[in-house]
Amino acid sequence: MTDFESPRVRAFYDRVANAIPCVPKKAHAELHAMTPWELLSRYLNWADRLVAPRPRRVVTWDGFTRHGATSLHWNAVCALAMEIEAGNDLRPYLSDKVRIGYVPAKDGGKKGRRGVEWADKDYALNAYEMHHLHLSRAGTEELLYVSFFRNEAFFLMVGDHKSFDDGSLAKAVGEARVGTLYELKGVGLQNQRTMAEYNQLQRRGIATFFPVGSQTVMGATLTGAGTSSLHTKHAQNMLKAIRKLDPQIDDPRFGHEWFEQSGKTYPASPAFEWALSHCDLCLIESTAFLKWTVVEWRR
């Protein structure tokens, strides 16, 4: 069993807590008091909003030009596609709200169930895995909704901030998921609602399923706190990796194969540290400046 109070692991969690931007800043104290699982989940809820810069192939679907205002902003969409395929930093196209990583509970941190606090969450990302990018660095009312993966960027539609709740984003997501792993084969919904009504449920942290013609697809995959269940699972996977590997790190044989693969000489006194690179869990050997990805995030 890993000692979660070991200096190496404790220092890692302290760095994670300090990395999350808080409003107000004194809320960092709440982050430092969290369990490792909750802290990592909170970090992922914020850090996943920042798209890791790497070249990605842009792909679309047959509904890309049917939904929203894609055709009216085609030149801007193509310019943004070039930025994405080049692997450029996309932060200039993101909302200013990415600067808010954690907002404390309105009750001042008293014990009890915390309601959904959307000020520190990206609704479209947590519900649908959709980032929303402004069409220029100067900021625009129009937004390009994109689902990012490690090597691909899926363009869904061009909409605006109203698309979050007016049902247009949900409708496009539902149609795009037909024929994918998100479709529930042989399942029908008897009590169907409008897309706007489904959004009202999701704003309360309720997961949903969408009817698309005669098919049913997964809608929002949310927790009761409005966070993504995918972030929750990834935090659990990172904790499992730490529990497994951390007791081995002080073994004199630990990490030799990594150095051999890198063509580096194993140091006389290696210094391993846990770290996060965007949303990937990594081990860093600080004397040789080598990094290994231990648990990879989906994008």
Total domain count for the chain?
A: 2
- Does 200 lie in the same domain as 109? yes
Using the predicted structure, report yes or no on whether residue 14 has a pLDDT greater than 70.
yes
Q: How confident is the model at residue 107 (pLDDT cuts 50, 70, 90)?
A: low
Which residues have CB under 8 Å from 23's CB, separation 6+? 100, 102, 103, 119, 120
Instruction: Compute the Cα dihedral for 261, 262, 263, 269 and give only its sign.
Output: negative
Q: Please give the Cα distance from 76 to 5 (Å, whole number).
A: 50
DSSP conformation letters of 92-149: GGS-GGGG--B---TTSS-SSPPPP-GGGS-HHHHHHS-EEEESSTT--S-EEEEEE-
- Does 129 lie in the same domain as 77? yes
pLDDT of amino acid 197: 87
The reply to whether 20 falls in a domain is no
**Tokens read off for 47:** 């850090």
- Does 239 lie in the same domain as 126? no
Rounded to the nearest 10°, the torsion over CA 252, 253, 254, 257 is 150
Cβ burial, residue 90 (10 Å; 0-12/13-18/19+): buried
Query: Which of 183, 206, 227 is a domain's end point?
Result: 227
Using the predicted structure, report yes or no on whether residue 115 has a pLDDT greater than 60.
no
Give mean pLDDT, residues 257-265: 89
The reply to whether 287 falls in a domain is yes
- Does 163 lie in the same domain as 93? yes
Whole-number CA gyration radius for the chain: 21
What residue numbers bound the domain in which 291 lies?
Answer: 231-295
Give the other-Cβ count within 10 Å of 126's Cβ.
26
pLDDT of amino acid 138: 76
Q: Are strands 131-134 and 280-285 parallel, antiparallel or unpaired?
A: unpaired
- Does 150 lie in the same domain as 290? no
Residue whose C-alpha is closest to residue 299's, from 180, 151, 177, 176:
151
Q: How confident is the model at residue 61 (pLDDT cuts 50, 70, 90)?
A: very high
Find the DSSP H helices in the chain: 7-19, 28-32, 36-47, 74-86, 123-128, 168-177, 195-202, 229-245, 256-262
Tell me how far CA of residue 75 lies from CA of 31, 70, 145, in angstroms. 43, 10, 16
pTM of the model: 0.91
Using the predicted structure, report yes or no on whether residue 109 has a pLDDT greater than 50.
no
Q: How confident is the model at residue 2 (pLDDT cuts 50, 70, 90)?
A: very low
Query: Which of 208, 227, 246 is a domain's end point?
Result: 227
pLDDT of amino acid 194: 85
